[in-house]
Amino acid sequence: MDWTPLGQLQIASIVESQGPFLEAWKVFPEATRENLAPDMDWLCPRALCRRTGKLVMPVQSFIVRTPRALILIDACVGNHKSVPWYPPWHQRTSRVYLSRMAALGVTPADIDFVLCSHLHVDHIGWNTRWVDGKWRATFPNATYLFARSEFEQSERKGSDVFKESVLPIVEAGQAVLVDTDHQLDDNVWLAPSPGHTKGHVCIHLASRGLSAVMTGDLMHSPVQCPHPAWSPVFDEDASLAANTRQAFLERHCDTNTLVMTAHFPTPSVGFIRPKEQAFQFDYLRP
C-alpha cells in the first residue's frame, strides 16, 4: 500500500512476503471443507487456495507518518532468524523488506518509534539484524515500545525469538516498557486486545475526525469475520481471543474506522460491515 492520507497522517505498508501459508484446517480447527463450503466462492482465490486448501497470508509492516514522528508498526520476520518450525521463514536472506522501505522514501535511520502489537516471530523480526557477528537494532534512532505484560511473558519463555529480536533492543537501551493502554500522543495510542497473547495490543490512529486501527493478530484471516468464534491454534487463550474479536467487530462494524490487518491478503485494509448475523471485510480497494 502506497502512502494513504488519514487526516494529517500518512499510512503505508511494507509487504515482506505473501503467499500460501498453512492449510486452513491446520490454522482453524473448525475450518473443515464442509464448514468452509458456504464461504469458498468469496474466499478463493484471494484468501484461500482452492487446490491446496492453504490460507493466503501476507507478512507486513505499516509505517505511519505523523506531524511529529515516523512510526513503524510490527516488523515482520527479518533475516537470519531461527524459525525451524516453518522453513520458509528460517534463516532468510532477503533484500525485499528494506528495498520496499526504500521505495517509500524511508531508511531505517528515519524511524522514530517501533510499536509491536505482540512479540511473535513474524511481527518483530526486523527489530534487529545480524551485523558483524552481533544482533543490532535495525532502526538505530528509534524508541521501541513493548507492552510490559507482553515483554515479561516473552522474557520468561526465553525463546530464540526473544533472544534475537527483543533482548538486543533492551541491551542497546532503546526499549521502553509501557502499559497496554499507552498513549503516544493525540494521534497514536495502544489499546489492550488480549487472547492471542496476554499483552497483545491494537494500535489506534486518529486525525481530524478520521480513525484507523492496526489489528495485529486479533484476526488472521477474513474468514473470521463471518466466523468470529474461530480462533487459530496460535491463540494462547482461544476463548478470550474470540470474545475480544467479537467485541472488536461489533465496535467497528459500519463505522468509518479503517481497519489495518496484518495477515489479510493485500491490500489488507478496509472496513467491517454487517453480513447476516455476523460480519464481512470490505477491502479499501481491489
Instruction: Compute the average pLDDT of residues 11-29.
Output: 97
Per-residue confidence (pLDDT) for residue 256, from 0 to 100: 95
CA distance 168 to 200: 21
What are the pLDDT digits (tens) for 85-140?
999 999 999 999 999 999 999 999 999 999 999 999 999 999 999 999 999 999 99
The pLDDT score that the predictor gives to residue 286 is 55
Write the DSSP assignment of the chain as a string of letters. Answer: ---EEETTEEEEEEEEEEEEEEEHHHH-TT--HHHHGGGHHHHTTTTB-TTT-EEEEEEEEEEEE-SS-EEEE---S-SS---TTSGGGTT---SHHHHHHHHTT--GGG--EEE-S---HHHHGGGEEEETTEEEESSTTPEEEEEHHHHHHHHHHT-HHHHHHTHHHHHTT-EEEE-TT-B-SSSEEEEE--SSSTT-EEEEEEETTEEEEE-TTS-SSGGGTT-TT---TT-SSHHHHHHHHHHHHHHHTTSSPEEE-SSSSTT-EEEEEEETTEEEEEES--
* pLDDT (tens digit per residue) in 223-247: 999 999 999 999 999 999 999 999 9
pLDDT tens digits, one per residue of 21-71: 999 999 999 999 999 999 999 999 999 999 999 999 999 999 999 999 999
Instruction: Please tell me the predicted confidence (pLDDT) of residue 138.
Output: 98
Domains, the chain, ordered by start: 4-283 (3.60.15.10)
Supply the mean pLDDT for the chain. 97
pLDDT recorded at residue 39: 95
Which tens digit of pLDDT belongs to each residue from 245-264?
Answer: 999 999 999 999 999 999 99
Band of pLDDT at residue 285, cut at 50, 70 and 90: confident
User: Average pLDDT of 194-215?
Assistant: 98
What are the residues whose beta carbons fall under 8 Å from the beta carbon of 37, sequence distance 6 or more? none
